[in-house]
Amino acid sequence: MEAKMDDPIYKMVPTHILNIKPYVPGKPIEEVKRELGVKKVIKLASNENALGPSPRAIQAIKNYVSKIHLYPDGAAYYLREDIASYLGVDSDNIIVGNGSDEIVSIITRIFIQKGDQAIMGDPSFLMYRIDTQLSRGEIVTVPLKDFGLDVSRILNSLTDKTRLIFISNPNNPTGTILKSKEMQELIQNLPPGTIVISDEAYHEYVDDSEYPDTLTWVKEGKNIIVLRTFSKIYGLAGLRVGYAIAKKQIISILNKVRPPFNVNSLAQVAARAALKDRDHVIKSKNLIKREKEFLYSCLKELKVPFVPTQANFILIETGENTKEIILALLKKGIIVRGMEAYNLPNHIRLTVGTREENETFIRELQNILQR
Ligand SMILES: Cc1ncc(COP(=O)(O)O)c(C=O)c1O
């Protein structure tokens, strides 16, 4: 049934919520099969791991599955212990969330009240905007410079109402990074009532020696929250596990708002196994390194502009006919992400896939462009 905006129910909803444009995720494979009658579908739209989950994570789920009648460990004790020892911090420096999405939402609920400001790049990950809006905060967008976050403009945007600065590093959807020096400049000039969120969902893919080691600032007790996830290189997007690393005081505040059993038990055991499967992480990283070079060279040959990336996705300029290109690709069973919601209507974001997937994408793109 279609929603009618004249239904009295809408009068019960505050304007700031009615104004939210819901997050539109990449189309699920089954939906494309159903709607377009395509048999084989490849999804290159949500930056998932082309190699799938770690086999050790699958085994861990199988081993645990007979115990799912029990509530999970609400505090995710063992998972936090494992992450802490892997990163060389204390487990009190860590909170685990139902995806890092949940942690962004917890952070904004606590630190953004009506009229408080959150600074974010334009474009950057859309959930920062949605969660800020939900808290009645003011979204302060800072245009990117050469597709990257611009620290001097961010610093110039600071006011006494700035509570959060969202740094997606690498930045989704551009794949660019903020370098160590720039991040240091930001941290050094941070007013006391402001927190930097360093969202490092694609951290493990970065291959640039100037990428910042943000945990140093956590250890120094700075106002920084580092976000990481098991959804990307660890291949567990469907299970929803992410985590934050911050000083103990911040973590204890976040825990006040965290729902009691926010990360399910299968997700916890799978994440522990995936963290230990360094082989799978290295294989995944190497695949992306190799395949992004392959895609770069194909795109150059097709004379299609793109932004060089430090993540497992590439922002590609497909021009004025982007909508038609996305639809034509869909009809061929290839799901990519349109960038209209990110104010980049002439671009698509492509997740780097396996060689076979990338070849299929390039072949179909070439066919469409030659029409
Ligand atoms: C920059 C960024 N942050 C956070 C997330 C959310 O990840 P999770 O699956 O851990 O909620 C994503 C997912 O696309 C992302 O791109």
Mean pLDDT of 91-109: 98
How do residues 42-69 score in pLDDT, each as one tens digit? 999 999 999 999 999 999 999 999 999 9
Nearest-atom number in ligand 1 for the CA of 237 is 9
Nearest 10 degrees: Cα torsion 64, 230, 102, 125: -160
Mean pLDDT of 157-170: 98
Q: How far is CA 291 from CA 134, 220, 296, in A?
A: 38, 37, 8
- Is 120's pLDDT higher than 80? yes
Catalogue the E-assigned strands of the chain: 42-43, 94-97, 117-122, 138-143, 162-168, 195-199, 224-229, 242-245, 306-307, 313-317, 334-335, 337-338, 347-351
Pairing of strands 94-97, 337-338: unpaired
Which CATH architecture group holds 8-52+279-370?
Alpha-Beta Complex (3.90)
Mean pLDDT of 79-101: 98
How much is the pLDDT for 24?
Answer: 81
For residue 47 the two structure tokens come to 């930056």
Confidence band, pLDDT 50/70/90 cuts, at residue 38: confident
Which class is domain 55-277?
A: alpha beta
Confidence band, pLDDT 50/70/90 cuts, at residue 294: very high
Q: How many angstroms separate the alpha carbon of residue 328 from the centre of ligand 1? A: 27
| Cβ of 242 below 6 Å from ligand 1 | yes
Mean pLDDT of 153-179: 98
Nearest-atom number in ligand 1 for the CA of 47 is 14
Nearest-atom number in ligand 1 for the CA of 125 is 1
Mean pLDDT of 261-266: 98
How much is the pLDDT for 268?
Answer: 98
User: What is the rounded CA–CA span in Å between residue 187 and residue 205?
Assistant: 23
Mean pLDDT of 107-135: 97
Mean pLDDT of 262-278: 98
| Cβ of 126 below 6 Å from ligand 1 | no
Cα within 13 Å of Cα(45), Cβ side: 20
User: What is the rounded CA–CA span in Å between residue 34 and residue 313?
Assistant: 26
Q: How many angstroms separate the alpha carbon of residue 361 from the centre of ligand 1? A: 24
Mean pLDDT of 282-300: 98
Lowest-confidence pick of 1-5, 18-22, 148-152, 277-281: 1-5
- Is 13's pLDDT higher than 80? yes
- Is 32's pLDDT higher than 90? no
Which residues sit opposite 306 in a β-bridge? 316
Helix/strand number for the chain, H first, E second: 14, 13
| Cβ of 47 below 6 Å from ligand 1 | yes
DSSP-based three-state secondary structure for 127: helix
Q: How far is CA 232 from CA 137, 260, 345, in A?
A: 29, 25, 25
Residue spans in the chain of domains classed CATH 3.40.640.10? 55-277
Q: How many angstroms separate the alpha carbon of residue 370 from the centre of ligand 1? A: 35
Nearest-atom number in ligand 1 for the CA of 102 is 11
Mean pLDDT of 364-368: 97
Which residues sit opposite 349 in a β-bridge? 315, 337
| Cβ of 123 below 6 Å from ligand 1 | no
How much is the pLDDT for 21?
Answer: 87
Residue to probe by mutation, ligand 1, list 95, 231, 263, most atoms within 8 Å of CB? 231
Mean pLDDT for all residues in the chain: 96
- Is 361's pLDDT higher than 60? yes
Nearest-atom number in ligand 1 for the CA of 168 is 1
Confidence band, pLDDT 50/70/90 cuts, at residue 3: low
How do residues 190-220 score in pLDDT, each as one tens digit? 999 999 999 999 999 999 999 999 999 999 9
Residue 97: how many CB atoms within 10 A of its CB? 25
Nearest-atom number in ligand 1 for the CA of 101 is 11
Confidence band, pLDDT 50/70/90 cuts, at residue 35: confident
Residue to probe by mutation, ligand 1, list 48, 79, 169, 172, most atoms within 8 Å of CB? 172
Residue spans in the chain of domains classed CATH 3.90.1150.10? 8-52+279-370
Pairing of strands 334-335, 337-338: unpaired
CB 263 within 8 A of CB 230: no
